Amino acid sequence: MKEKLKIYLGVMFTIAAIYNAAYSLISPISILLNINPENWLFKGIDNNWGERGFIMLVIIILLSTIICFVIFRNNFLNTEILLQRLRSFLRYFLFFVFFDYAFAKTMGNQFSLPEFFADMPLSDLNGFLLTWLFFSYSYVYGLFIAFSQFLGATFLIINRTKYIGALLLIPVISNIIFIDYCYEIGNDVKVISVFYLVVLLYIIEPIIGSLFKLLLFKSELISKDKAPISLNKKQVVIKLFTTLAIAFICFYSNYIQKVKFQFTQPVMGVWKTGNVYLNNNLFTWDCSNDSIPKKIYFEKGGSCFIKYSSTDHYGNYQTKADSIYIFDGNDSALNFSGKYKMNDSLLVLKGIIKNNLPVVYNLSLIRKIK
């Protein structure tokens, strides 16, 4: 019964791992195709992790039960070999996960925030933003975390060092879990982080008893694992190819995200509005008027943040040659279209706003975005 329970848990973890890996791979593909996977993967389902997570948990339990029923009824697989295969697959899955996170940190896709957060009062920042600002302050610290993930993941897929890799990654993911829960990072991230920790514990299960005895100076470390399955040259080549393929996928998916979300444009920076000519007349400022922005943040990757007197708007922008187009992030409506001209720390936007009124914005540079 104990061995069957281990197999059942292994099958559950494997199905959940396949779903998690597939969803991670959908992200770079959706960027290339310019689609949002949320619109067709979970259409009509609450985006909150509660409803979605419950549906996925029910599906995983049902699939695991059916698969294990077939396995146990027919008894066509050796229990020890099946457990080794399940743990081996989960090790490669975690290799993919931690390599992906490590590349995200080294390439600047993680621990980065739009520039306008730097001007927000601390009282307006939630736990997630405070945490990300802290981690984004030092790129070297991010590299240190990435290196620990690279190292642990590499050890994890080598049979002789798999337990070393798992023991290296357990404190890494445990620290992430505490941060996620203490700083309210997000329900989906909390659940996924705990899942990674549980899978790591499942991988080291054969040595947990001996590990406790070793820590209490009562015995040497002995694994309950049977002798590993010997590999021929063809299998070694397949394992090596699989490892390199996973590493390349992790790198390339992060490269796509970096190119998509961090490409630079000439107008990138934080700009303060000076004189504004609306319908060929000098606009007179009114603190209660939200028709003219006070500040515009042209961020990396084509996103922008427009600050009015009493409201803030998120949006997107595009530049082509000397033309610029600004879209509202809520309804994707075109807010401004026209020409731009830059001269050192001055930016002039001349065109029409969404009510077809001609407008000229004279903007002065507060700071450039690197």
Phi, psi of 37 (to 5 degrees): -60, -25
Q: Which CATH number fits domain 269-368: 2.40.128.270, 2.40.30.60, 3.40.50.300, 3.40.190.10?
A: 2.40.128.270
* Average pLDDT for 174-194: 88
Parts of the chain belonging to CATH 2.40.128.270 = 269-368
Q: How high is the pLDDT of residue 39? A: 47
Contact assessment for residue 180 and residue 157, using Cβ atoms and an 8 Å cutoff: no
* Average pLDDT for 297-322: 84
pLDDT tens, 125-155? 888 888 888 888 888 888 999 999 999 999 9
- 282: helix, strand or coil: strand
Q: How high is the pLDDT of residue 222? A: 59
pLDDT band at 229 (very low <50, low <70, confident <90, very high): low
Q: Is the pLDDT of residue 15 over 90?
A: yes
Sequence-separated contacts (24+) of 54-62 with Cβ below 8 Å: 56/16, 56/19, 60/12, 60/15, 60/16, 60/19, 61/12
The percent helix, strand, coil of the chain (3-state, each to 5) is: 55, 20, 25
Residue scoring higher pLDDT (309 or 44):
309
* Average pLDDT for 172-199: 90
pLDDT band at 122 (very low <50, low <70, confident <90, very high): confident
